[in-house]
Amino acid sequence: MKTKLIKIIILAISLNGICFSAFSQAVNKPSIMVFPDDVWLKTNGFLTEIDNQGVKVDVPNYSKALLNVELSQVITKIEKIMLDRGYPLENLSQTLKSIQDAEAIKSMETSEEGNNVQVSLKDKLLNAARPDLILYVSWTVNTVGPKKSVYFSMKAMDAGTNKPAGAADGTGNELIGATLGVMLETAVLSHIDNFNAQLMTYFDEMVNKGREISVEIQVFENSPKKMNTEINDDGDELSDDIQKWVKANTVNGAATLQTKSSTLMRFTGVRIPLRGEDGSSFNADGFGTKLRKYLRKTYQLPCASYPVGTGKTVVVIGGKSQ
């Protein structure tokens, strides 16, 4: 009986260790979302130039691109390679489906919040999935007689700041009769260790220093309080308290006050924790929401907050967007 009980305890400890190891691995590596690179999108006709309020911008048609069989194969293969190395993944196709509504997805649309701030489809995807890093991939197939090889390029970027986090490129061996997935795998595997090291170096810095974002706080004209409104008998102004709050809620107080006036504060180099109190990914939008709630609770100020891209949040004091 005792022997059986000991075996059960050992089994439970082993299973718990496996679960803990898997959890630690997921937490200790950045989450990744694989996107087709703009070079590949343009070459294959999935990048459209539009006029955005007088500015020419290239807009990717991800919905159409993801119907491409080769792209589907490449994303699946890259995801498997990264998953085998312990990276949590956010799938582009599934995220795209999750944000579709009754209307056809528009390449560019206007948000009702934030005074008509333009929100790209990519920003919507990233805000929904909240990956730490974006992995852009492109490739070309080289054919010499019956032999084929694949040239690939992978670029990892910080999802919030768009700063480079790693890169790899190369050409695989010439093969006969191999599928695109096999050719890609042979090409990538010879570079993956160095690429992995680059990603982990960047992510370790993110863990130690925090995720970098920017914060902008605006004041409506009819707001009951402005930035220079005194809030106590010591002569502290609302801007002073906001600055203290930002410092207190960042990693090691990292934040630079770039602009301050009666109606505007702008912080850059704001470093926030990678994870929230519930363990989920914490980003600029979450930070803005937290500040909005603080101002509402402390000063009874009507406020609104919204993300601009994935690396910036805007908090508006004194009113709600219509």
Would you say residue 8 has pLDDT above 60? no
| Chain mean pLDDT for the chain | 85
Q: Using 50, 70 and 90 to split pLDDT, how confident is the model at 276?
A: confident
What is the pLDDT at residue 101?
55
Q: What is the pLDDT of residues 10-45, one digit of tens each?
A: 444 444 443 433 333 345 899 999 999 999 999 999
Rounded to 5°, angle at Cα 113 from 111 and 115: 95
| Global confidence as pTM | 0.78
Would you say residue 54 has pLDDT above 90? no
Would you say residue 95 has pLDDT above 50? yes
Lowest-confidence pick of 47-56, 148-157, 272-281:
47-56
Q: Closest by alpha carbon to 123, among 43, 59, 45?
A: 59
Per-domain residue ranges of the chain: 27-206, 210-317
Would you say residue 278 has pLDDT above 90? no
What is the pLDDT at residue 167?
98
Q: What is the pLDDT of residues 219-259, one digit of tens each?
A: 998 899 999 999 999 999 999 999 999 999 999 999 999 99
Average pLDDT estimate for 261-278: 93
